[in-house]
Amino acid sequence: MKNYSLKINKILIRHLILMISIAFIRCENKSTCKINPDNANRKIYNEEEAACFILLKLDDKTLDLNQIQTALAIEFNYMKEIGLVSENKLTENEYNSSIKLDIFKIVEIAIKNEKINISKDKLVNIYEAETSYLKFIGVVD
């Protein structure tokens, strides 16, 4: 009986160490995220700041910064493919254009992507939270 309880204790200790490590990594992810208030209304999209903004806004313990960055990269590639984004600086008229992006289409594309392991609902949350970032930087109303 003594060996059995010793094995259980070792397993519990391993699980505890694993859980603490996971919690530390999650906290480390959030602690590296900083949003610069000076970027409000600057109309400059920063990929790293967008991912951090989304991570902080969602406060979802099951998502990490890398997953959000991957989801944003998939979205960016889709937007580039259909001609919605360009490497060139946009004019004021282009900022005010009434282009609508179908979030559900992007979610569909992201789910088909093998690099991403995020549920449909979480992807929708990520892309909706990105809209808040776009409002923060002054790109959308």
Q: How far apart are CA 16 and CA 2, in angstroms?
A: 21
Number of domains in the chain: 1
Comparing C-alpha atoms, which of 122, 81, 95 is closest to residue 130?
122
The tokens of 59 are what?
């406060």
* Model confidence pLDDT, tens digit, residues 59-75: 999 999 999 999 999 99
Per-residue pLDDT at 109 exceeds 70 = yes
Per-residue pLDDT at 86 exceeds 60 = yes
Query: In which region does residue 99 sit, left (phi positive, over 0), alpha (psi from -120 to 50) or beta (all else)?
Result: beta
Q: How far apart are CA 95 and CA 134, in angstroms?
A: 11
State pTM to two decimals. 0.69
The pLDDT value given to residue 23: 41
Residue 61 lies in a domain: yes
Residue 37 lies in a domain: yes
Q: How far apart are CA 83 and CA 90, in angstroms?
A: 13
Q: What is the mean pLDDT of residues 19-26?
A: 42
Residue 15 lies in a domain: no
Range of the domain at 50: 32-136
Using DSSP's 3-state secondary structure scheme, residue 7 falls into helix
Q: Which pLDDT band holds residue 17 (cuts at 50, 70, 90)?
A: very low
**Stronger pLDDT, 60 or 16, i.e. the higher one:** 60
Q: Which pLDDT band holds residue 37 (cuts at 50, 70, 90)?
A: very high
The pLDDT value given to residue 20: 45
The tokens of 15 are what?
């699980």
